[in-house]
Amino acid sequence: MTFWEEVLAIFIGDVFASVLLVFGYVIVQWFLRATDVTVGYAWKFTGTKFHPTFDIRNHSGSKTYLLANIAYTKNKRKNVVFIDNKSLWGKELKPESVSFLDEVAPVPSITSLPQCADVDVTLRLQSGRQFWLKGQGPGQLYIGRIQRFAFRLRQKFQKAAISLE
């Protein structure tokens, strides 16, 4: 191998190693962001006024989040039922905290329990991130296969006491 071929081979190897390092960093950051907040909800009612209660867990060890609003939709988020901009605005999710939020305004167009099952709830943070809560069952965060795997992996790391942040 000549001198310039050797220089080219080393350069290509360095570029490849750098790309792998950046790719690994991006995967770890996605993993931390995808699994740092979990949301669950259930419907509560007083008479004919129905509203959700939220169980929000911030698994992040360093990041504080601010809640923004709640959007209620039907037909896979195509038809807007109601948007609540006041109930949760500015509520803070401190690092490694669990918040139970019960002071949510009633949804005006929902008057019975069967209607609650048809409504999808989207909880938004002030950063623009949103959590789509499908209107089925008790109301758990809708996640795909990859996120489900990431949540399980994060739980294993937490049980093993390996800090991710």
Tell me if 43 sits within 8 A of 52, measured CB to CB.
Answer: yes
Interval 113-146: pLDDT, tens: 888 888 888 889 998 888 877 655 455 555 667 7
Q: How far is CA 58 from CA 8, 24, 35, 37, 61, in A?
A: 47, 24, 9, 5, 8
DSSP string across 50-96: EEEEEEEEE--SS--EEEEEEEEEETTTTEEEEEESSSSTT-EE-TT
- Phi and psi at residue 8, in whole multiples of 5°? -65, -40
Element of type H or E holding 125? strand 120-125
Q: How far apart are CA 137 and CA 147, in angstroms?
A: 19
Look up residue 158 and give its amino acid.
Q
Interval 60-111: pLDDT, tens: 878 899 999 999 988 877 888 889 899 889 899 998 888 888 889 999 888 8
Domain boundary assignment for the chain = 1-34, 35-159
In this model, does residue 162 exceed pLDDT 70? Answer: no
Q: What are the percentages of helix, strand and coil residues in the chain, rounded to 5?
A: 30, 35, 35
Domain 35-159 CATH class label: mainly beta
